[in-house]
Amino acid sequence: MTIDPQRYAELFRTESREQLSAINRNLLLLEQGGDDQEALGAVFRAVHTFKGMCATMGYHAVAEFAHECESLLDRVRRGEQSHTPELMDALFAAADALEGSLEDVSDTSGTTPAMTQALQRLHDVAGGSSTSEFRAMRLSGGALVEVADSDPLEGPGVIVRVRQRADTMLPGVRAYLAVTKARALGEVAAMSPTEDLLREATTPQAFALRLLTEATPEAIEAAIRSAGDVEHVEVDASGHTRRTTRATIEVVAEGEEPSRAPSASAANAPAMRPTRHVRIDLSRLDTLMNLIGELVITRGRLLQLSAGIGDAALDDAMQQASRLIADLQAEIITSRMVPVWQVFDRFPRLVRDAARQVGKDVNFVIEGKDIELDRSLLDEIGEPLVHLLRNAIDHGIETPEARAAAGKPRAGRLVLSAARDRSAVLIRVSDDGRGVDRAKVLAKAKAAGIVDAGVKALDDEQLLRCIAQPGFSTADAVSGLSGRGVGVDAVHTKVRVLGGHVEMKSVEGQGTTMTLRVPVTLAIVRALLARTGNERYALPLTHVRETLEYADGTVQQVRGKDVLVLRDEVLPLLDLREVVRQGGEPETGREIVVIERGERRSGLVVDELIGQQDIVVKQFDAPRDGLALFSGATILADGAPALIVDVGSLFQGN
């Protein structure tokens, strides 16, 4: 049966975004390196692959636009087009137009306004010319029109069309081997794409060649298939090129016969390799995570019930089931983990454009790209990072002239890094700019009533608290990048929703570092359960340093407030009963949990420590005017609910 390629539209978009990421990444290298032939070749191959995928899906307008980009890149490769800033701007505009075309692309969609404008820039850079190797394009009334040009496949001979398998290893080598097999039967008069492009290919290819031979179609197909990893071969002996306006895919279901008989060489075709990777819709992984979460809750309940029965065989079975559930939980969480480069790789282009917008030179460095995060969390962290990067460029890094006057390199340094810290991930945005003007922030904070009039200076914690206020900004004017007072506020809000927190360090004249501490996964976390009065609360172990008994020797008073003396270190002491505004008298035999957030530590007094447990995090909307102390809720082993304490909120004001 024939399958409409639109069924594969989402897969097409996913793979196309990978190619567009490669285009942007290598365009940046090309812009920095000038004559970087490796980067130029990588851009050319990515555009060529993107064009081929569009053509296969029947997205002809986008394919033709990509074709024109490919033509200009080929002129640069052959030295016919000089490398200029105008060229790079035109190529970046073309990359943006290609990316913008992905959302609503279809077989009937035409040229978008962005594509039209980008095409005009490409023609302006190329002086209105086009390479003879590709079909020329021109603008007519804002639309793309094909100009009649000779097709290299037109002419005498046999047209052989080949499509490689999706799991082809070393596709360039396999394609070259197929061409070599064809040459053994006669003369290869023409190819599309060129042989050089095929040999450089890193993704499975669809290509065609015109063969002058006396061999039969069966012999030609057998020779091509003997090269290996060939999914489809079509031999057209009519002597002319047959164009198709829509691609079709033939699928043979189990128990059905294919629509055409297999070739004589089918028996000799190489065995299909097992596929090592598959693409899974994220919603299915979300469903699996929800199911394993419910299973973890049920496991806790069953363990509690079986412990009360006292049956040794039942206990053994439950312990085995518990281990299997734990292994299953770990595997599902691991399957959702992806390296941060999948989000980080889009930022070099953002930094480049933002720096050009404000007239600054910025050297952007990414570190720790292989650190992994849960897929859903990684998607959410992208927006806060955009705010931090744009703020660093606009507010932090100085102009080249100001940096030179201060004895710094004219180009600022901006670093985006990721690192593991126990069960959390630290994502940092650091710049070597001017730092935050603390005096200016203090003056505006006093005027806004954020800090008391008697405050003389702001430490890093107070500084962050001020600039994270909604609408707070020290910018003298609103720019295209920042100045409206929403950047750090949006970052702080988003990260807290994700169960993390923000830290800040700034030194005037030297730069600023913003650190986002986020959990590796949001769904299931290890927590310490504590009781206060009749209520139980969960404290994520990420923030628990140690526990100890409440004793007179460790608890003292300083200026009328209880403090914890721990190994010659004095820590502030909080009472969870007071924090949650729970009445009643404190119990005897209380215990202390030492909690930490970044480099800050504090003691938290609770009535009783119950133990550790894997908890399933359930997000909830806090009631209006309620306490902003909780990051979610969970269901305990006995079926009762418990609130998850947002440890970061306990440090506010301390």
- Of the CA atoms within 13 Å of residue 477, those in its CB half-sphere come to 2
Per-residue confidence (pLDDT) for residue 252, from 0 to 100: 34
Per-residue confidence (pLDDT) for residue 81, from 0 to 100: 82
Of 74, 59, 43, the C-alpha closest to 112 is 59
Domain ranges for the chain, please list them: 2-146, 158-250, 282-336, 339-519, 524-650
Distance CA 274, CA 265 (A): 21
Per-residue confidence (pLDDT) for residue 484, from 0 to 100: 42
Side chain identity at residue 334, one-letter code: T
3-state secondary structure of 620: coil
Distance CA 422, CA 16 (A): 35
3-state secondary structure 539-567: EEHHHEEEEEECCCCCEEEECCEEEEEEC
Of 144, 136, 139, 141, the C-alpha closest to 110 is 144
DSSP class of residue 366 equals E
Under CATH, which architecture does the 158-250 domain have?
Answer: 2-Layer Sandwich (3.30)
Decide if domain 524-650 falls under CATH 3.40.50.2000: no
Distance in angstroms between the alpha carbons of the first and the last residue of the chain? 69
Q: How are beta strands 641-645 and 630-635 bridged, if at all?
A: antiparallel
Q: Which H or E run contains 120?
A: helix 113-125
| Average pLDDT along the chain, 654 residues, taken 10 residues at a time | 56 80 87 78 86 78 85 84 85 88 68 82 70 37 40 77 83 85 88 79 83 89 89 74 35 38 41 57 82 86 86 91 89 86 87 90 92 84 89 91 93 93 86 91 86 85 84 63 62 80 89 89 83 90 87 79 84 88 80 85 91 80 61 81 84 62
The CATH code of domain 339-519 reads 3.30.565.10
Q: Do domains 2-146 and 524-650 have the same CATH topology?
A: no
Per-residue confidence (pLDDT) for residue 651, from 0 to 100: 75
Per-residue confidence (pLDDT) for residue 364, from 0 to 100: 93
Per-residue confidence (pLDDT) for residue 604, from 0 to 100: 92
Per-residue confidence (pLDDT) for residue 150, from 0 to 100: 46
Our measurement of the distance from residue 61's CA atom to the centroid of its chain's CA atoms, rounded to an integer in Å, reads 28
Distance CA 236, CA 372 (A): 49
Judge if pTM exceeds 0.75: no
Per-residue confidence (pLDDT) for residue 549, from 0 to 100: 87
Per-residue confidence (pLDDT) for residue 633, from 0 to 100: 85
Pick the CATH number of 2-146 from 1.20.120.160, 2.40.10.340, 2.60.40.420, 1.20.120.530: 1.20.120.160
Distance CA 125, CA 118 (A): 11
Per-residue confidence (pLDDT) for residue 530, from 0 to 100: 92
CB 555 within 8 A of CB 606: no
Side chain identity at residue 226, one-letter code: S
Distance CA 554, CA 594 (A): 12
Instruction: Cite the active site residues.
Output: 48, 70, 391
The CATH code of domain 282-336 reads 1.10.287
My answer on whether omega of the bond before 193 falls inside 30° of 0, hence cis, is yes
Edge-to-edge strand ranges of the sheet holding 591-597 = 544-549, 591-597, 600-606, 569-575, 561-566, 555-558
